[in-house]
Amino acid sequence: MNPVIRPRRLRATPAMRRLVAETRIHPAQLILPLFVREDIAEPAPIGSMPGVVQHTLDSVKQAVQDAAAAGIGGVMLFGIPAGRDAIGSGATDPAGILNRATRVVAAEAGDALVVQTDLCLDEFTDHGHCGVLDAHGTVDNDATLERYRGMALAQAEAGSQLLGLSGMMDGQVAAVREALDAAGRTDTAILAYAAKYASAFYGPFREAVDSQLTGDRRTYQQDPANRIEGLREAALDEAEGADVLMVKPAMSYLDVLADVAAVAQVPVWAYQVSGEYAMIEAAAANGWIDRGRAIRESVTGILRAGAGAVLTYWALELASDPDSAA
């Protein structure tokens, strides 16, 4: 048997494989999440996320400089306050840690990076939920929207260029867009975490933001069993005025990501979450997998599924040598 068609010809050498690669990792497609904590004097390592730290207002400046030098697309900021209350007052306080950090990062980044901020109450509430609770202890969707409006204005005033609406409240995009436009902030863009699932892979993130959550978020984040629902949520957010749509987590939801990317008329991104990061780092530390290849394969898979950009804790590492081990 002598086959005429031999696909292996295009896999014969590293140069050939690089030439015909259908998916590439470019630094501009990478976004680095950054944690800034109020009550620390020096960067604090996050035990479940090796290599990731909670920054001070001072140390985050160097992280932003490194991100700009690497040519990545942007940074996503999360704030960790020293104190919390039932309505997350620190989220709308101009002196709150996230808004202060945003001003610092915006000044440091200039035009080199897109400064993005997490617009959600969970880091700021003493109950750890993403919204305001009613008398029965249930998240009150519409009361939460009012808090989100205030957060949007505070973050835009601090210098955020892209607001990451991650709370999964019904109508959140429309509410924030209306508030921004009414205040003359028509140029502030919205990143809608449109298909955000109630995932077990957020575990290390809870440590990163010192979450106070008890219970779960299954009444507002999506059921991992549902695929069509992800499309519905994305379509609603796009219709309400979202500038970018997000699928989160990434690796376990590549089908949802591909679905959304196939129909959306705006950019679609994905978040490679803390649990995805921690699993690869832990397996590599035990010598079970090739760390570098696993990192690149995981992000390549997310891009191949349709993401235009990826939030990943490996953004700087990948930007420094995106095609190694190709």
In a domain, 2, yes or no: no
In a domain, 4, yes or no: no
In a domain, 20, yes or no: no
pLDDT at 324: 53
Q: Which of helix, strand or coil describes residue 165?
A: strand
Number of domains in the chain: 1
Using CA of residue 128, residue 132, residue 135, residue 136, what is the dihedral sign? Answer: negative
In a domain, 271, yes or no: yes
Contact 222, 168 (CB under 8 A): yes
The low-confidence residues of the chain, meaning pLDDT below 50, are 325-326
Cα separation, 80 vs 84, whole angstroms: 9
pLDDT at 213: 83
Give tens-digit pLDDT for 129-141. Answer: 999 999 999 999 9
In a domain, 55, yes or no: yes
Active site residues: 196, 248
Which distant-in-sequence residues (6+ apart) come within 8 Å of 315 by Cβ?
A: 30, 31, 32, 67, 70, 72
Q: Give buried/exposed letters for 84-102 (b at 16+ CB in 10 A, else e).
A: beebbbbbbbeebbbbbbb
pLDDT at 248: 97
Q: Which domain holds residue 221?
A: 25-320
Question: Could you tell me the CATH number of the domain that includes residue 149?
Answer: 3.20.20.70
pLDDT at 322: 59
Using CA of residue 154, residue 157, residue 158, residue 164, what is the dihedral sign? Answer: positive
